[in-house]
Structure 1
Amino acid sequence: MNRTHRLVSAFGAGIVALSTLSGIAQTAPAPAPAAAPAAPQAIPAKIALIAFEQAVVATNEGQRSVLEVQKKYEPKKAQIEALGNEVESLKKQAAALPATTSEDERASRARVIDTKEKQLQRDADDATQAYNADLQEALGKVAQKVSGVMRDYCQKNGFTLLLDVGGQASNVLWANQSTDVSQAVVTAYNTTSGVTAPPPAAPAAAPRPRTAPAAPKK
């Protein structure tokens, strides 16, 4: 029972409150008119795109964090899989009961299956919730550091606007792929973090080929 879990990143905007000056005496002279602010100057737009969540996971540190959380939950995953196999085995046994089996026996087996199925569902839900929380916390720490490298990269390369196109809610319908800086930010972060890439997972063992039966002798 595999489930795909997605990381949801949230970005907050800072709000600065300005206090109101008061208490000026009525007898104080009126202040001189302030000079008109300089008109803003238009600069050429240089827009970049990034799939931020995917970039965080693609960094060496992000991959390491995912592997560490997965390793932490391997015992729980094995426990849930064992319970699931037990439930399936009990169902097969119940289905194979002979016609002479009493109703009390059938009802007893059904109650056992129902109890274990409910336990399986609870265990799976609890493990999923805990796994997602730990994964979000681990990747959230990486995301904060990637965000700083991302902003620094955009400033150094003269970008005036950066759009996140990694989420489903993105309003960007099309863009030239040369404007995507996701991999460049990942590379820059890997360089500054000093975290090496995790070793590749060992490939699954290939099934042994079946030996063709010998041709019958004539």
Structure 2
Amino acid sequence: MNRNVVFGSALAAVLTSAASLAQAPAAQTAPAPVAPQAVPAKIAIIEYEQAAAATNEGQRSLHEIQQKYQPKKTQLDALAAEIETLQKQLQSAPATMTDEDRASRARAIDTKQKQYQRDAEDASNAYSAEVQEAIGKIAQKLGPVVIKYVQQNGYTMLLDNNGQQQGGLTLMWAPGTDISQAVVDAYNASSGVAAPLPAAPSAPRPQPTAPTAKPGASK
């Protein structure tokens, strides 16, 4: 599933729940019509995906996934180093090397490069899928915390700052208060998950990347 769909669905669930709660009193007898009045908007901004990843639970999940893929990263790094060594050996080969031997070594390098590319792509896709799934689950649980915080603090509009970077046309953007860290703190307090150890990833706004390296191209 596309990561934008995962986090977009999570945020949509938050906004839908908030809207239904806000509209609940409408089921009662409607008061007499009154002249419309302008109400100043109190806008809350959240970086929803990053907030989910920045929670203690998110940091723990990211660390566990990174540890899981560390052996594969080590394997890929070793293969990349081997390819680089073979390339240097071929480039510095004596002029007396036969064309057949030179072509054979070039084919061996090409085979290893293709193996590296396949393995790196497979590892990257698997890593990204696990990160997306893990953070997506936390994003779903983050919803009630966001709703509670927005309602308790009197916000009338909630904007996802991630959405500003996912394409599409933005007709107007109004400044507001970023509640991402406050929501992260509230979620950590309610989840009971301890903060990660110093050795674990601890950036407040992590941007997970697949553990891959690229060998130099053969000449």
Amino acid at match of 1:183: Q
Deviation at 1:44, TM superposition (A): 4.7
**Could you say which residue in structure 2 is the equivalent of 1:117?**
113
Q: Secondary structure at the match of 1:11?
A: helix
Q: Alpha carbon RMSD of aligned pairs, Å? A: 2.6
Asked whether the 8 Å contact 2:76–2:120 carries over to 1, the reply is yes
**Could you say which residue in structure 1 is the equivalent of 2:71?**
75
Q: Which runs of 5+ in 1 are unaligned?
A: 1-6, 16-34, 203-218
Distance of 1:108 and 1:58 partners within structure 2: 50
**Could you say which residue in structure 2 is the equivalent of 1:175?**
175
Report the structure, 1 or 2, having the larger helix content: 2
Q: Which runs of 5+ in 2 are unaligned?
A: 17-28, 201-219
The one of the two structures with greater contact order (alpha-carbon pairs below 8 A, sep at least 6) is: 2
TM-score normalised by the chain length of structure 1: 0.72
**Could you say which residue in structure 1 is the equivalent of 2:92?**
96
CA-to-aligned-CA distance 1:23-82 (integer Å, 9 cap, x gap): xxxxxxxxxxxx988648765532211111111111111111111110110011111111
Distance of 1:194 and 1:153 partners within structure 2: 18
**Could you say which residue in structure 2 is the equivalent of 1:25?**
none
TM-score normalised by the chain length of structure 2: 0.72
CA-to-aligned-CA distance 1:137-165 (integer Å, 9 cap, x gap): 01011111112211111112221211111
Runs of 4+ in 1 over 6 A off after TM superposition: none
Distance of 2:94 and 2:199 partners within structure 1: 47
Instruction: Trace 1:6-85 onto structure 2 (pairs within 5 A).
Output: 8=4, 9-11=7-9, 39=33, 44-85=40-81
Whether 1:152 aligns to 2:148 is: yes
Task: State the aligned residue count.
Answer: 175
CA-to-aligned-CA distance 1:89-143 (integer Å, 9 cap, x gap): 1101111110000011001101100000000000000000000000000101111
Q: Secondary structure at the match of 2:199?
A: coil
Whether 1:137 aligns to 2:137 is: no
Asked whether the 8 Å contact 2:47–2:162 carries over to 1, the reply is yes
Distance of 1:103 and 1:85 partners within structure 2: 25
Distance of 2:112 and 2:83 partners within structure 1: 7
Deviation at 1:201, TM superposition (A): 2.2
Amino acid at match of 1:110: A
